[in-house]
Amino acid sequence: MTSSDRNEPQLIAVSVGQPRDVTWQGKPLTTGIYKSPVRGRVAVGPLGLEGDGQADLSVHGGLDKAVYAYDSLNTAYWRSQLGRPELGPGCFGENLTLSGLPEAQVFIGDRFRIGSACFEVSQPRQPCHKLAKRFEDPAFPKRFLESHRVGYYLRVVEAGELGAGDPVVRIAHDPSSIDVANLVSLFIARVPNEAELERAAGLTALADAWRIPLRERLEARRA
């Protein structure tokens, strides 16, 4: 294997988990954020990975959030920032831990071939209180979002199977799209640029969970 081969994007780990009941701030909470790496090949269907589950299907899972991906450089960043050397694959609730595909290099609508499955980038992650529970820190979701190291959700375009060590091959890219990091910047900006709002809201591959709020902000600016 050459040096350039080693630098190609790769699937480092595949993680799954089923919802579990926990307690957060004195109240019961059911969450599927706890994921653990698995060995071997894992089947991929339209709604995600075999053996994986989500607790609240009104805000998690579904076609637009079938699979959650996170780059390993982000995990290393949080290990350092939080002083948590034990953090590894699956710790942020991700299904796919990747290398070589941080948010600034991944665009809405990009398609990737991993194993025999094909995926399309649908939206950034918007963290919620379940991430706060995972790290026992009510302020962590805000810090996570402001870091822009949020990862991204994938639609399943073609079912198949995958496993750790598979290359991640970008097979489609729209040069007029917006990368995940810049989309997060636009989303959290107090006074977002109107032209950029219009551009983002017009991305056909962007999930409605992000498109609708951006469209509403655009209409409010114009009003």
pLDDT tens readout for residues 182-211: 999 999 998 889 999 999 999 999 999 999
One DSSP character per residue, 83-132 reads T-TT--TTTTS-SEEEES--GGG-BTT-EEEETTEEEEEEEE----HHHH
Please give the single-letter amino acid code of residue 26.
G
Q: What tens digit of pLDDT does each residue of 121-180 get?
A: 999 999 999 999 999 999 999 999 999 999 999 999 999 999 999 999 999 999 999 999
26-54 mean pLDDT: 95
From CA 32, how far away is CA 55, in angstroms rounded? 5
Confidence of residue 6 (pLDDT cuts 50, 70, 90): low
Mean pLDDT lowest among 20-29, 68-77, 164-173: 20-29
For residue 78, the SS3 value is: helix
Residue identified by tokens 């109240």 is 27
Both tokens of residue 36? Answer: 């653990």
By DSSP bridging, strand 67-71 and strand 96-99 are parallel
Average pLDDT, the chain: 94
DSSP 162-210: E-TT-BEEEEE--TTS-BHHHHHHHHH-SS--HHHHHHHHT-TTS-HHH
Written as six digits, the tokens of 162 are 């995958």
Place of tokens 């409605």: 208
Which DSSP category does 40 fall into?
S
Q: Find out whether 100 and 7 touch, Cβ atoms under 8 Å.
A: yes
CATH 1.10.3720.10 is the classification of domain 3-174:
no
Q: CA dihedral in degrees (192, 194, 200, 201; nearest 10)?
A: 110
- The pLDDT of residue 4 is 38
For 141-153, the pLDDT digits (tens) are 999 999 999 999 9
Is the pLDDT at 93 greater than 50? The verdict is yes
Report whether pLDDT(5) > 70. Answer: no
Give the dihedral of Cα atoms 57, 63, 67, 71; nearest 10 deg: -110
Question: What is the amino acid identity at position 197?
Answer: L
Percent of the chain with pLDDT over 70: 97
Alpha-carbon distances of 118 from 55, 74, 125, 139, rounded to whole Å:
25, 23, 20, 35
Q: State yes or no: pLDDT of 7 exceeds 90.
A: no
Q: Is the pLDDT of residue 1 over 60?
A: no
Mean pLDDT of 11-29: 95
Which structure tokens are listed for 215? 């469209």
